[in-house]
Chain A
Amino acid sequence: MTAQHALQTRDLGLGYGEREIISGLDVDLPPGRLTVVVGPNACGKSTLLRAMARLLTPTAGTVLLDGRDIHATPTKQVAAALGMLPQTPVAPDAITVSDLVGRGRYPHQGWFRRWTAADSEGVAAAMLATDVLDLADRSVDELSGGQRQRVWIAMALAQETDILLLDEPTTYLDISHQLDVLDLLTDLNRDRGVTLGVVLHDLNLACRYADHLIAMKDGRVVAEGTPSDIVTESLVRDVFGLRSTVIPDPASGTPMIVPLGRHHVTSPNP
């Protein structure tokens, strides 16, 4: 995966029916980097991700894949460049891990081009990268949440795209599995050069893992850049309406947000 595709939005407007969620949005997904989108609930971050994956038709503006309107690009070509893992994909009853991962090869197949050795290799590589090979013949139903999420990521990886969008891949996972998933995504980014766009809830994990952070509120980008450059107490207040203290993360040196509520705060402004 050496070809780097670029994904951008220009003057993008999005909405459901009459309700406008995003307007005039310009966002770039830096190629070869891990970009994290954060923001409060209903700020439009998942909507943005869905539009970037061509799952949602813009009401205005365009999403550009390599400079070309993604809605004017043939579906196959989009699916060859760009994969998307939604927040709640559905596993068919009793499906096995290898079968589910194999479905990631869908865009590589056609009515007359069935399964080939390249498909088996793509699936195998994806399962090795996500460490789910030993689960290959297990039923997805019986896996733990963390294992299941790794299997879904393997499915998306088997598509062999060099852009991968993930909508809250760590939701419903306990903290150690959240770290597993983010470490895995970092490996994919560093070892294979996959461009990642990830929506996350946890600000501190976002700051630690993001090369590029996009903070959204009310359908607008409030700030974007490396976490160390943009994350400040005033940004956290602007975006989340939250009082906080920002200190260097003792493990990584990236910004760490210590939220301040009304109780249990001994030194309001240390």
Chain B
Amino acid sequence: MKTPTAQAAARVERLRQARRNRFALVCASLVLAALAGLLLSLAVGDIDVPLADVWAVLTGGGDPGSRFVVHELRLPRALLALAVGLCFGLSGAVFQALLRNPLASPDIIGVSAGASAAAVLASMAFGLSGLALSGGALAGALLAGTLIYLLAWRGGVSGGRFVLIGIGVAAGLVSLRSYLMTRAEVTEAQNAFVWLAGSLNGRSWDQLWPLLASAALLVPLTLAASRSLTALQLGDEAAGGLGARVERGRLALLACATALVGVATAAAGPIGFVAFVSPPIARRLLPGQGAALVPAALTGAALVCAADFTAQHVLPGVQLPVGVVTSVVGAPYLLWLLARAGSSGRGG
């Protein structure tokens, strides 16, 4: 005969196990979706490569023709799409959970705007390109993040204040960017516009390696820092009561999330709305499971992969920037969220 506490503990354990199972199932499905997207992007294009040949190339074989198409042209771009989506999704989930606001996404509160303003400045004023340009974008994201944090600081940082100041900073940075564009030559401006829309066109291994290296560092750091999120989500005072180091934990998470946006934007431009919509999709798949960071990251990866595939193939002969496709998905969600927040008086 079990004691009531033991029975209750068994029940708690069962619920926990069910939650974990669902978490694993959702993550596995998202990984499969991302892999399917990857294979599709490698196989389909101007020259269709049969899946068997794609597999042969990936495992080190294949004929030189397929090898060139898959390995040199399509693989870096597809992997870049996955990595960029992963970084954006994870970053958005951290921001939204930490600031307890579905609008608190780096592409809305000015972190991405900082990256793009810095990139435009770097390419036009200093003629930078390639890795140096990416470095400029990363620095811009970190600067914008620091600026918002300092302006929002009042002996601590509250979510609502951070979001409002972030939106203000975003507006300032966008106008700075526009001013720089008016001073640019037409071709320069056109290149900048394509970059600003967020594009994976013509991306190669050169853009991929720095991103993969940064992500390999930042993703584990973010997940390690996210331990304190369990407590921070309950509000600062409850978190303090649970023994979390509130301000330090928040700063570490914000720094990781900002750097993630910086490196992803540096590689592919500010692909709009990915950081914004991936976390709510993940939370919808796993209701009541907190921040769902890993599922949000996987959702982002699958989303960018699918969006880039769509961008390449939806209009015959035209390569759209992937940001155009993600915006088509993201903008209506933003409107819906604002309308709902307006009518119910709360932000989600």
Contact = CB atoms under 8 A, between A and B. Distances in A.
Interface of A: 16-17, 50, 53-55, 75-76, 78-80, 82-86, 88-96, 98-100, 102-104, 106-107, 109, 111, 115, 117, 120-121, 123-125, 127-128, 133, 136-137, 139, 155-156, 159, 165
A102 B288 CA distance: 13
Contact of B19 (A85, A99, A120): A99
A124 B5 CA distance: 6
Interface stretch (B8-16, B67-75, B177-185, B209-217): B8-16
Given A79-B243, A90-B233, A95-B288, A127 B238 contact: no
Contacts of A16: 155
A125 B241 contact: no
Contacts of B288: 93-96, 99, 139
Contact of A124 (B11, B227, B245): B11
Contact of A90 (B6, B235, B240, B289): B235
B242 interface: yes
A51 B38 CA distance: 54
A83 to B, nearest CB: 6
Contacts of A127: 8, 12
B27 interface: no
A171 to B, nearest CB: 15
Nearest to A121: B9
A86 B241 contact: yes
Interface in B236-272: 236-238, 240-245
A3 B325 CA distance: 62
Contact of B9 (A95, A109, A124, A159): A124
Interface in B278-293: 283, 287-291
15 contacts: A53-B241, A55-B240, A78-B243, A84-B237, A90-B234, A92-B233, A92-B234, A93-B283, A93-B288, A103-B234, A120-B13, A133-B8, A133-B11, A137-B15, A156-B241
Contacts of A165: 241
Contacts of A121: 5-6, 9
A78 B241 CA distance: 9
Contacts of A139: 287-288
B16 A115 contact: yes
Contacts of B15: 96, 98, 136-137
A85 B11 contact: no
Contacts of A115: 16
Given A94-B283, A124-B5, 12 more contacts: A75-B244, A84-B237, A84-B241, A90-B235, A94-B287, A94-B288, A98-B16, A123-B9, A124-B11, A125-B9, A127-B8, A133-B8
A106 B231 contact: yes
Contacts of A55: 236-237, 240-241
Nearest to A96: B288
B12 A128 contact: no
A96 B230 CA distance: 13
B100 interface: yes
Max chain B C-beta neighbours (<10 A), residue from A50, A82, A103, A106: A106
A14 to B, nearest CB: 14
A111 B348 CA distance: 31
A136 B244 CA distance: 25
A120 B230 contact: no
Contacts of A53: 237, 240-241
Interface string B176-206: 0000000000000000000000000000000
Nearest to B18: A137
B65 interface: no
B234 A76 contact: no
B9 A85 contact: no
The interface residues of chain B, by DSSP majority, are classed as helix
Given A99-B289, A106-B230, A139-B288, A120 B9 contact: yes
Closest 7 CB pairs of A and B: A79-B243, A84-B241, A124-B8, A86-B237, A124-B9, A90-B235, A107-B243
A91 B234 contact: yes
A79 B242 contact: yes
Interface in B8-48: 8-13, 15-16, 19
Interface in B141-173: 155
B315 interface: no
A89 B19 contact: no
B238 A89 contact: yes
Contacts of A92: 97, 100, 233-234, 290-291
A104 to B, nearest CB: 7
A116 to B, nearest CB: 10
B127 interface: no
Contacts of B8: 124-125, 127-128, 133
A24 to B, nearest CB: 23
Contacts of A111: 224, 227
Contacts of B283: 93-94
A124 B227 CA distance: 22
B345 interface: no
Contacts of A89: 234-235, 237-238
Nearest to A152: B238
B4 interface: yes
A136 B224 contact: no
A76 B228 CA distance: 13
A25 B78 CA distance: 65
A86 B245 CA distance: 16
Given A50-B237, A124-B12, A127-B8, A90 B227 contact: no
B42 to A, nearest CB: 37
B12 A136 contact: yes
